Amino acid sequence: MIQIKNLSKSYGPRPDAPHALDDVSLDIADGDIVGIIGMSGAGKSTLVRCLNLLERPTSGQILVDGQDVIGLTGAELRRYRRRVAMIFQNFGLLAQKTVLANVCFPFLAATGRVTAENRARALALLDLVGLADRADSYPSQLSGGQQQRVAIARALACDPEYILCDEATSALDPASTNTVLKLLRQINRETGVTVIVITHSMGVVEKICRNVVVLEHGRVVERGSVADVFADPQSHAAKVLLERVDWDA
């Protein structure tokens, strides 16, 4: 379980420096698929970068199974990051490496080598995402949707407990988006991995998420089940994202 308590992130040493996150508190249960939504500048990407400690919060706690991970360094930090996989908007694949080598890269980064067992695991993951026949291809030879499926296979290589998706489908066409979302939902059901979806698209949230958190100006302004929030949004941000604001009022 992830418990975020009173998390703030400001840029600059002054007390009045702008806050990207302002006293954010929320719980994410193991095995859930949670959407974190908001308009541009709401703090979504900052939150996900704090979760995997690519950025350090200014204050607050991030408790993972009861342990505050914010102060982790060295080997402990590397072990934690292996538990938290990232899927990016721009896929993040290594252009000069084959699809198989990309999926094997986490093994290489962790141990300095790739074993036959690692390659077998990578091929099994490519089969899971429907791309076993493209193992020897290069990213430039794949469509955007296929590249994102390779990125998902790579994210699964080290058996993470959490997958963070930062606008992972925003660069894809509708058909590819649906394929990727179905795959993430399948992986969640089969492995129990917790999926945290950062997005501005309510359509993505509706298709895959069970619960949703709405951010606005770095603060949590609404949370609940997707069904409840979609049926009766309370915050201005949720109403705008659901296109339920009467602009002529």
Helix (H), strand (E) counts: the chain:
9, 10
Q: Which domains does the chain have, with CATH numbers?
A: 2-241 (3.40.50.300)
Whole-number Å distance between alpha carbons of 240 and 246: 9
CB 36 within 8 A of CB 47: yes
Q: Any idea what DSSP says for residue 41?
A: T
CB 142 within 8 A of CB 134: yes
| Residue 111 confidence (pLDDT) | 85
Cβ-based neighbours of 141, under 8 Å, separated by 6 or more: 134
| Residue 162 confidence (pLDDT) | 95
Q: Rounded to two decimals, what is the model's pTM?
A: 0.89
Alpha carbon separation from 83 to 55, 62, 179, 186, 247 (Å, rounded): 17, 14, 25, 19, 44
242-249 LR contacts (CB < 8 Å, sep 24+): 242/202
Task: Give me the tens of pLDDT residue by residue for the chain, a chain 249 residues long.
Answer: 999 999 999 886 666 667 899 999 999 999 999 999 998 889 998 999 999 999 999 999 999 999 999 999 998 998 898 899 999 888 889 999 999 999 999 998 888 899 999 999 999 999 999 999 999 999 999 999 999 999 999 999 988 999 999 888 888 888 989 999 999 999 999 999 999 999 988 889 999 999 999 999 999 999 999 999 999 999 999 999 888 756 554
Q: Collapse the DSSP code of 163 into the 3-class scheme (helix H, G, I; strand E, B; otherwise coil) and give the result.
A: strand
| Residue 145 confidence (pLDDT) | 92
